[in-house]
Chain A
Amino acid sequence: MERINRRTFLWGSLAAPAVGLAFPAFADSGELTISHYFTGDLGLKAFNEELEKFTKATGIAIKNSPIGHEDYKTDILVRAAGNSLPDVFSYWAGARVQFIVDSGSLHPIDDMWKQANLDSIVSKQVAASATSYNGHRYLLPFNYHYVGVFYNPKVFAAAGASTAPKTWDEFLAVCKLLKSKGVAPIAVGSKNRWPAQFWFDYLLLRTAGPVYRAKLMSGAAKYSDPEVAAAMALWKSLLDAGYFAENANAQDWTDAADKVTRGEAAMTLMGTWVTGYWNANGLSPGKDYDVFVLPPLKSGVPNVAVGPVDGLVMAANVKNVAGANKFLEFMITNEDVQSSWVSGQGALSANVKIDPSRFNSVMQKAAAAVAAADEFAFNYDLATPPPVAEVGLSMFAKFIDSPSDVQAILAQAAGEAETAFKK
């Protein structure tokens, strides 16, 4: 065999990749790129099934890049900065969408909305609160969630609490009873900070009302206001009474949910996605877990339901507009997709044609709670601009760790929030 000299080897090793580079990688013109945060315990398998249905129905291949829920918040903005957003991606309705709409990263979907006649398909309440920004529609609501008090009925029954509380006094009585039986009344898994926000949301909404809360979220009110102090004082009273399981900041939301399952805690204030987690772990709705509305605190204050709306948005630099439009329309109008998705994920459908009686008893209660509410509001970190949300989420975690420092914590948060609003 002829010996290969160094020169030949060198040129040969450079030639091979050079030849490869000479053929540019043409993107498949029928392909659609998608990214989303429905990963892990948040419905990865279910979402992949819905994507397969789309491909089967339309022949459009999907290049899918799921990203962990927490990392997604950073990842999508980095991709926006690098102008490398996927054609379609999931996003949380509210302040986060407003943030990226203001940066020019999204493609409006007014035409798609009109063509698909979505006014007659999407719930008016959800459409009004979640889809329009700066006068145009940008977000397609894929599903929404309700934040309620999910509890273990067996633990309640064993403690002697036969029914879910309907008034605040009843709620406090149940907490006292559970504690006396050696069960932590409430579990919170605030390791990633966000689960704690629901307590602040409801306590503020139930005392100061939605109008004041909206002002706080927009910066028109301050964290040093007496309304905020009152809500935090109420929260402190629950913590001081020992109604929260210890080490909340060391547990994830799934750890808190597991505590409720195991009977170490009785209830957790969480979104309906927890039912998806519990269903996947073989629990039975109604038997192993149930839900009630956190009772009102003050008469005359509107009843507000809190929860996030998961949406799908189109990137401004979308390469496959036709495919993206088809995808968005398919994901909200296809009843099979909507039914199986919301069932698998523990969500509520924004499609009014989906009959709620299809769903389990717990999800029907959640849907009824939203329908009965005077208003629907996004939870804290979706209702206020992301830099301010960072301040608030840290404030809640700090407060849970050291409730006695509430005044100093509030004072610090007030200053930081004011600075964050200015930027």
Chain B
Amino acid sequence: MERHNRIWRAALLALPLAVFVAFVVAPLLTSFYYSVTNWNGYSSNYAFVGLANFTRIASDRLFMQAAVNTAIWIVAAIALPTTLGLALALLLDSKVAGARIFKSIFYLPICLSAVIVGQIWIWIYQPDWGLLNAFLSHFSDRPFHYAWLAKPGSALWSVIVAWSWQQTGLSMVIYLAGLTSIPGDLLEVCEIEGATRWQRIRLVVLPLLAPATVVAVALSVINALKGFDILYIMTGGGPFNSSDTLAMHMYNESFKKYHMGYGSAISIVLFLIAISVIGLYFRELRKVDRIYG
């Protein structure tokens, strides 16, 4: 019977595993190969260059800028959607009228594709007739026409805000699920003992939400690392590479500047960063599992 089950497991896993190898592992290995060449992406004429692409990274000003932008995005990913998601979950996890409707409304953005979210926010940020400038113009004696996505100082943050708007719903749902696992009698005891709402949240709810926090933060960070489509739609990494992230820089080097070998090297670096983050996530998850069972 056990052998029978093993065969079933192997058979059912074979197809998804084959797809995973074909579309994830094989391209990854191919990236490793091209990262040590000077391939331009379409010609059959290229040479082996050793680690030259990797040493170039160290002196690439645009890579450093993209790395800083990626770090900013990761920090914002930890701070913004997780904090807002937690606040929304705490607010909606009560018997307030219409809570269910609000949960659906706040969750809706995550159901939209990044392309749609990006386009919506492009319209919101439009300098001449966008919603944001129309709102801000009310506080100004002359029309406010700031080009949020076309100015180096604001482009990246404008994209991060749009992305966070979408991600917040996901964090909210994770925390709502986490809140259902908190024993009700614990919260009753707090009430009986005279704890304030804030004390209840700080001393009981937040610590017990640690597993949910690990999941919410990890998902936000991983999604931030993957953040390409919304950035491509909204700014393309511009203006003047000011909103480039490592993923966008890799794309620009590979497909706009025809340095596929160098782009592959950047992708390897990005892969190593992502692996570290995922490793950290699993380590924290195991730690939290040990504490909270």
A: residues with CB less than 8 A from B are 6, 10, 74, 77-78, 80-81, 100, 102-105, 191, 246-247, 249-251, 386-387, 390, 394, 397-398, 401, 420, 423
* B-side contacts of A81, CB under 8 Å: 41-42, 260
List, in ascending order, chain A residues with CB within 8 A of B41's CB: 77-78, 81
Known interface pairs A249-B150, A397-B240, A401-B239; A390-B42 also in contact (CB < 8 Å): no
> Is A387 within 8 A of B147, CB to CB?
no
Which stretch in B175-183, B196-204, B216-224, B251-259 binds the other chain? Answer: B251-259
Main secondary structure of the interface of B (DSSP, over half): loop
Contact A6–B8 (Cβ < 8 Å): yes
* Residues from chain B with Cβ under 8 Å of A246 in the complex: 127, 145
For this complex, 23 residue pairs linking A to B, each with C-beta atoms less than 8 Å apart, are A10-B8, A10-B12, A77-B42, A77-B255, A77-B258, A78-B41, A81-B42, A100-B42, A103-B42, A103-B44, A103-B45, A247-B150, A250-B147, A250-B149, A386-B258, A387-B257, A387-B258, A390-B257, A394-B241, A397-B239, A398-B240, A401-B240, A420-B257
What separation, in Å, do the CA atoms of A19 and B12 have in the docked complex?
19
In the A-B complex, the 8 residue pairs with the closest CB atoms: A250-B147, A250-B150, A249-B150, A81-B42, A247-B147, A103-B43, A74-B255, A80-B42
Most buried by A among B41, B45, B256: B256
B residues less than 8 Å from A250 (CB atoms): 126-127, 147, 149-150
**Chain B residues whose C-beta falls within 8 Å of the C-beta of A105 in the assembled complex:** 42
- Please, how many angstroms separate the alpha-carbon atoms of A104 and B45 in the complex? 10
Number of chain B residues close to chain A: CB under 8 A: 28
How long is the Cα–Cα vector from A299 to B56 in the complex, in angstroms? 47
CA distance A54 to B45 in the complex (A): 37
Bound CA–CA A251/B126 (angstroms): 9
Question: CB of B109 within 8 A of chain A?
Answer: no
Q: Tell me how far the C-beta of B150 lies from the nearest C-beta in chain A, rounded to whole angstroms.
A: 4
Cβ of A299 to closest chain B Cβ, rounded Å: 37
A397 in contact with B238 (CB, 8 Å) = yes
Quick one: which of B40, B45, B239, B241 contacts A249, CB cutoff 8 A? B239
Report chain B residues within 8 Å CB of A386.
258
- Whether the pair A249, B147 counts as a contact (CB closer than 8 A) is yes
Shortest A408–chain B CB gap in Å is: 12
The contact string, 1 if C-beta is below 8 Å from chain A, for chain B 8-23, is 1001100000000000
B152: chain A residues within 8 A (beta carbon): 401
How many Å lie between the Cα of A74 and that of B257 in the bound state? 10
Residue of B nearest to A192 (CB): B236
User: Which B residue sits closest to A393, measured CB to CB?
Assistant: B256
CB-CB contacts below 8 Å: B193-229 with A: none
Chain B neighbourhood of A251, CB < 8 A: 127
In the bound complex, CA of A390 to CA of B256 (Å): 7
Q: Which residue of B lies closest to A7 (CB)?
A: B8
Docked complex: B141-166 residues within 8 A CB-CB of A: 145, 147, 149-152
**Roughly how many angstroms separate A327 CA and B135 CA in the complex, as a whole number?**
54
Report the separation of the CA atoms of residues A407 and B110 in the bound assembly, to the nearest whole angstrom.
Answer: 45
Chain B nearest CB from A162 CB (Å) reads 29
Complex CA distance for A250 and B150, rounded to whole angstroms: 5
| Chain A: CB-nearest residue to B241 | A394
